[in-house]
Amino acid sequence: MAVNSDFAKQAVFLAQQLDCSEKYVAGILHDIMSENPNVDAVSSLELAVATFHSRRRHLVDSFRFLLEAAEAGTSPEAPLLYHRLAQFVDMEILAEGTGGVTLAQKILKEMEQLDVVIGKADLARKNAGSNTVPHSTGKLHPTYFTFVVSYTFL
């Protein structure tokens, strides 16, 4: 897929701010621009940040529901589906993968790092200006965008 240079700059900038892959961010931006073809640069970035955090919340909720179902599956009276979910969680999520680290351990490590992320977001929110707009050169002012990323995250 061919993209213009502004799209590429936005994707790279957003990936740096969100600390994730440029390919993933480009996919989010593409989805937003496909659904909203007349959206401006700032709005598309704000929507991308909101979508990024929404997807993260959905992923965490999915794990929570899966673990709750697996816990319910330990009861002898539980339906067969819950027993199978409990087996799946034991074998695929809690079992050690390559390198001896379970998915659950990786998730807990990420949760521990949230303190740093939330601290950075709060600092950015406190230091952000309120009237900054993107430059006409296609570059985005980092203070404004850090505020948008932080505010959406919190």
Q: What is the pLDDT of residues 64-116, one digit of tens each?
A: 898 899 999 999 999 999 999 999 888 888 777 666 777 777 777 777 777 77
Query: How far is 2 from 135, CA to CA, in rounded Å?
Result: 23
Nearest 10 degrees: Cα torsion 50, 21, 117, 60: 60
pLDDT digits (tens, 9 = 90+) for 35-78: 998 998 888 988 998 899 888 889 888 888 988 999 999 999 99
Query: What are the residue ranges spanned by the domains of the chain?
Result: 5-153
Band (152; pLDDT cuts 50, 70, 90) = very low
Mean pLDDT computed over 111-138: 66
Query: Given this model, what pLDDT does residue 140 score?
Result: 52
Tokens of 114: 């949230």
Rounded to 5 degrees, what angle do the CA atoms 37, 142, 17 make? 75
